[in-house]
Amino acid sequence: MVRITPSRIEYLAHGLNFASFCTSSCVYCYMNRFRRVNLGRGKPVDEDLEELARQLETFTPKGDIMMSTSNDPFTAGYSLANRILSLVVSKLDDLRSRAGADFNLRVLSKKGVWRNPITREPLPNHSLLLFGQTVTTLNDSVRQVLEPGAAPVDGRIEALRQARQAGFRVWLSVEPVFEGMDLLRLCELVEPEEVWVGKLNHYSSQFALPPEEIHRQVEEARASGFVVREKRELREALKIEEERKLVGLETYLVEAGAQCRS
Ligand code: SF4
């Protein structure tokens, strides 16, 4: 059954997941090890929305909700994602009243989809909805190696641009950060309301940028007026520079223990 559950991602309070697989097939995905262990257990896709509908009648958000945190929301097709999002969006005013404050319903994907591929009808919108894409590099050759089942980089950028032009609030998740990233250029192309830049990733360290370079790009984008937030792990990595230099960058990246969220 589909339910909103607690999330430990630092900018979220809740996650909304409904698939035990993800067709983006990112080689660095932190869920890969759990999927291997749980292979064959449970339903691959949960389409039972009755529990979610019941939950939404009394649920009080404690902060942002994200669809999704352990699978791409479009991994089981546009139709199911649209049904789930439509249900939550229909209850957002009630949720805001109960919470007594604004929060964001974040959508985060790598599929470059923001409207029905056949009818071209956009996803449901609301003032609390933040439509986002993860972009980890602007180099699509790097993307093909690391995220073979996800949309090309250009497709994600174009989805964000079109959604923004159609009136959606848009955001970017930049995590992990790989070779070929130019954060300022990405921000200029998308004009996001907010960007979260994430921690290093230790499964693909040969492609990962060093924390100082990530931070330099963050500062450059901020200097141009973009709202860019660094996740805790990246901030902490920058504080232990001496230790990292002693063990060497490659070893440090492996031992840093960073993981990706969507
Ligand atoms: S990192 Fe996200 S998009 Fe990629 S496979 Fe994992 S859940 Fe899917």
CATH number at residue 158: 3.80.30.10
pLDDT of residue 202: 54
Paired with 67 in beta bridges are 107
Structural domain count, the chain: 1
pLDDT recorded at residue 226: 98
Residue 250 pLDDT = 52
Mean pLDDT of the chain: 88
Residue 261 placed within a domain = no
33 lies in some domain: yes
Q: Is the pLDDT of residue 241 over 80?
A: no
Rounded to an integer, the average pLDDT of 160-165 is: 98
Q: How far is the CA of 238 from the centre of ligand 1 (A)?
A: 26
Residue 77 in domain? yes
In a domain, 17, yes or no: yes
- Inside any domain, residue 130: yes
CA 228 to ligand 1 centroid distance, Å: 22
**Structural domain of residue 114, as residue ranges?**
4-255
Between 44 and 102, where is the model more confident?
102
* Mean pLDDT, residues 97-119: 97
Distance (angstroms) between ligand 1 centre and the Cα of 100 equals 32
Mean pLDDT over 85-102 rounds to: 98
221 lies in some domain: yes
Q: Considering the domain boundaries, does residue 72 fall inside one?
A: yes
Nearest-atom index, ligand 1, CA of 28: 1
Provide mean pLDDT across the span 157-169: 98
Ligand 1 site, CB within 6 A = 22, 24-26, 29, 31, 70-72, 110, 260, 262
**What is the average per-residue pLDDT within 50-57?**
96
Task: Give 32 Cα–ligand 1 centroid separation in angstroms.
Answer: 9
Do the domain assignments include residue 208?
Answer: yes
